[in-house]
Amino acid sequence: MSKELVILESPGKVKAISKYLGPSYHVIASNGHVIDLPSKELGVDIENNFKPTYKVINNSGQAQKILKKIESLAKTSSRILIATDPDREGEAIGWHIANRLKDSNDKIFRVTFNEITKKGIQNGLQNEGKIDQNLVDSQQARRIMDRLVGYKISPFLWKTVTNGLSAGRVQSVALRIICERDNDIQKFNPEEYWTIKAQFSNKEEFFNAELFKIDNKDFKVSNSDQAKKIESEIKKQSFKISNISKKKIKKSPMPPFITSTLLQSGVNKLGFSSKKVMQIAQQLYEGIELGSKGVVGLITYMRTDSTRISTEAIDELRDFVTKKFGVDYVANKTRKFKSKKNIQDAHEAIRPTSVNYEPKKIQNYLSKEQFKVYQLIWSRFVATQMKDALYDQTVVDIDSENYKFRISGRVIVFKGFTQVQNYSDNLVDKDAEVTLKLPKNIDVGKEVYIDKVFPEEHFTKPPPRFNEASITKELEDDGIGRPSTYATIIERLLVQKYIEKKDKKLISTELGNIVNNILVENFSEIFNIKFTKKMEKNLDKIEFGEIEILDLLNKFYKPFEKTLELVNQKRSEIKKTAQVLTGEKCPSCKTGDLVIKWGKNGKFIACNNFPKCKYTSSLVDENETVKKETEIVGKCEKCGKGSLVVKFGKFGKFIACDNYPECKNIISEQIEVNCPVEGCDGHIKNKITKKGKKFFGCSNFPKCSFATWNKPISKTCDNCKYPMLEEINNIKTKESYYVCPSCKKKYDAL
C-alpha cells in the first residue's frame, strides 16, 4: 500500500509529525523556500504585467536535491499533503512545490498545523483544502515590490555612497523612524521645571504630600525664583484635610500574546533580542523532547496577529485555573479579546498547546532560555481567564486658602490574575502591592501643620531612544511590516550597519543617517509611513480577494518609475552631497579630494577620483581617542610650564599635566555632587587608596572626613531628605540600584 506524502517547511517538525502520523505517511521538509526570484537579476518582466521569473534557489544544490526527492516520492504516493507554515510565505512555498508536481495535481491537498500536537495534526488533516491563490498573490505582490525597490534603488546607493549598500521597501522606513527619533533627541532643548513637596504633621506623625493645585488650577513652576516664592507663601498658610476619598479600582489581564507583543515582552522582560525570541519560539512550536512523551510541540504557531483562542483551549484553561487557584479566581464569564482589523486570522494567538504542561513541571527538558520564553507565554495565557485584580485607592487632599496638596496610592485587596505571578517568577505584567503611608488619625476638616517644604528642580527629557521592543511596537502601531518580518527588519538594519545597539538601545550610525537622508530627500513618496502602511493594507486586500495583484503593482510602479527618472538625472549632484570630505587633497593623484567611505570593515579614506585614482587609507577610531587625550583644559599651576589635559586611565577620566614625568600633577575628575555633611562646602571627588582601590571622598579632607566606596548621586531621598543617594552595583547578583546611606531606602530607578 502506497504512503501519503506530507511536505513540511521546517526540518525541525519532521520528527514530531512523523511520530503522530505513523508509518503510513512519508514526511519530508523543504527547508524553507526552494524556488524564488533569481538572486543576480531583476527577475520581473515589467513590460509584461510584472511577470516574475522563478528559479530553483542556488544554495550549493541543496534546494535541487530536496525538489528531486519530493518529485520522486510524489510519484509513488497516494496523496500529497502540502503542510508548510500557515501564513503567506508558507502558502507561496507550497504553491511553488505544487507547480513542480503538476502531473500529480489531482492528489495534492493543502493542510495547516497550528500546533504540533496529536490534536493539532488531526484538526489539520480533517480540514484539508487547496492552495489559497489569494494568499499566494499577496506574497508575490510583496516580493515583486520589494525586488523592484531593492534592484532599482540599491545600485543608486552604490553609485552615490559606496558599494554593497541596499534599500528595502519596509526596512528603509524603519530606518527613517529610528533616524528621525535620534534627530529629535539631538535637537531637544531641556526646559526647567520645579515640583514642590511638603512634610506635614498632625502632632502625632509626619507624612509627605505633593503640591497639586494653586488657586484650584493647574500650575507650572519654571524657575527657582518662582519656586522660592511659592515655598515662602506656603509656609505662611494654614492647612487642613479637605477630602478623603476611597474607591475600588480593577485591573484586567492583558490579551494573549501575538507576535509583536511576544517580541516586546521578550526584549523588555528577558533582555533577549527580537531574533532570539523568535528562534526560541520556533523551537517551542516545532517540538521539544519530553522524556517518555516524545517530541511535543509546546506552543501554537508563533507568527500571528490574532488574539483569538479556540473554545477547546479556553475550556481547558478555565478548568485548570479552578483546580490550581480555586473557583474564586476564574473569570465569571469567558473573556474574549478584540483583534485589530484586517488581520490574518487563520490561526490563534500564541498560547501553550496544553495548559497542563506547566513550566516548572517540564523545566528539566528545556534550556534556560526556552524555559523563560515558555513561562512568559504560559503565564500570559493563564492570566487571560482569571478575574481582575482589585485595589483600594485612597486620595487625601490637604488644602489651604490657595494651595492644594495631594497624597494618593492604592493597596491590593484581591490578587486576581496577578496570583499567577507567584507561580511564574513574576513574569506576568507586574502590579505589586503599593504601600500607602497615611497618618492614622486624620479626618476631613482636621487641621494639619506644615513642617518642611521641598522644592525640587527638574528638566524635561528628550524622547527615549528606541530599543527592539519599542521599535516593534512603533512598526505595529504604524501598520508597517507583519508578524513574520518584525525581527528580520531589525536584524537586517544591524547587519547593514545602518544602526547599532548600545546598552540595548538602537542608534542610527553615520552611514545609516547618510543613507536615510538620500532616500528621504529623493524617494520621499515611497519611504514614508503613510505610503508603506497603505501598501500593507493593499496586500491584505489581495489576500482577502478585494483587489487584483496587477492593479496594486501598476499603482505602485508608475509613480515610482517617474521618481527614478528624475533622481537619476541629478545623480552627480546627490553624490556630492553624500560625500563626507576630509578637507585634504589626494597625495597620489594630487587633484582629487579625500573623502570618507564605508566598506565591509567600516570607514576608510579614499580619493573621489575613483576609479581613475585608487588611493585609499585606513581610518581608525583611535585617532579620536588621541584627540580626547590631548584636550587642553588649562595651565598647570604646579609646575607653571605644562598644560592640564584630559586623559583616560584605569579608573576613568582624569586631568593631568602633559609635562609628565617632570611634573606629576594629577587632578581627579570632579563629580557634580556636594558633600552631604552639614556645614561642609566641599564637593565629592574620585580618590584612590594606597593600594590603588577607587573610592569617593570630600575635597575638604582632612577637615571633612566623608568617604564612601559607592558612587554618589545628586538626588535627595524622598523619605528622610538626605541630600545624596549612592549607586550600588552587585557583581554577584548583577543587580544595579540606588540606596539612601542614611535611612537605607532602596530605589530601583531614579
Active site residue ranges: 301
Pairing of strands 288-289, 632-635: unpaired
Query: How many Å apart are CA 141 and CA 553, to the nearest integer?
Result: 7
- Contact call for residues 458 and 193 (beta carbons, < 8 A): yes
Residue among 732, 724, 189 at smallest CA distance from 750: 724
Q: How many CB atoms lie within 10 A of CB 314?
A: 17
Counts for the chain of helices (H) and strands (E), in that order: 19, 34
Which residues, 6+ apart, have CB-to-CB distance to 23 below 8 Å? Answer: 3
**Joined grid coordinates for residue 597:** 567611505
Task: Give the H/E segment covering residue 409.
Answer: strand 403-414
- Contact call for residues 5 and 26 (beta carbons, < 8 A): yes
DSSP 49: T
Phi, psi of 598 (to 5 degrees): -120, 140
Which residues, 6+ apart, have CB-to-CB distance to 71 below 8 Å? Answer: 100, 101
3-state secondary structure of 256: coil
Residue among 511, 493, 508 at smallest CA distance from 580: 511
Q: How many CB atoms lie within 10 A of CB 316?
A: 16
Query: How many Å apart are CA 648 and CA 650, to the nearest integer?
Result: 7
* Encoded amino acid at 420, one letter: V
Query: How many Å apart are CA 456 and CA 688, to the nearest integer?
Result: 33
- Contact call for residues 588 and 613 (beta carbons, < 8 A): yes
Angle between helices 133-160 and 510-522 (to 10 degrees): 110
Alpha-carbon torsion (324, 327, 333, 337), positive or negative = negative
**Joined grid coordinates for residue 140:** 508575490
